[in-house]
Amino acid sequence: GAVVSQHPSRVICKSGTSVKIECRSLDFQATTMFWYRQFPKQSLMLMATSNEGSKATYEQGVEKDKFLINHASLTLSTLTVTSAHPEDSSFYICSARNAASQQETQYFGPGTRLLVL
């Protein structure tokens, strides 16, 4: 199956700093990538859709100025949590769709654990 990687796998930062998370599709091109947030023992909540070459689409209630998304190539999307606070601590997961196959399948990355002190 298709492989999606994330980096870093976990990060600890101080309150007020910014953190960048990378999501890469390793063996396919993805015009669309998705960013999710998952709190402990809860489901995945879609934060935004990352479109290559255009602005990201944010879900209702997600602050676009706080969660900056850049999708500069068909294999890389980045999520930057700006001025992170303890309430931003969560598990962030990306997924990607294979544009060439036009399949509905989303392949998920391994996730990034963010802890803001």
Q: Which residues bind another protein (CB under 8 A)?
A: 1, 4, 6, 32, 34, 41-44, 46, 49, 51, 57, 91, 93, 95, 97, 104-111, 113
Q: Considering beta carbons, is residue 24 or 97 the nearer one to another protein?
A: 97
Print burial letters for 25-56: b (CB count within 10 Å at least 16), e (below 16): beebebbbbbbbbeeeeeeeeebbbbebeeeb
- Could you tell me the smallest distance in angstroms from the CB atom of residue 107 to another protein? 7
Q: Considering beta carbons, is residue 28 or 34 the nearer one to another protein?
A: 34
Distance CA 85, CA 65 (A): 14
DSSP character for 32?
E
- Could you tell me the smallest distance in angstroms from the CB atom of residue 5 to another protein? 10
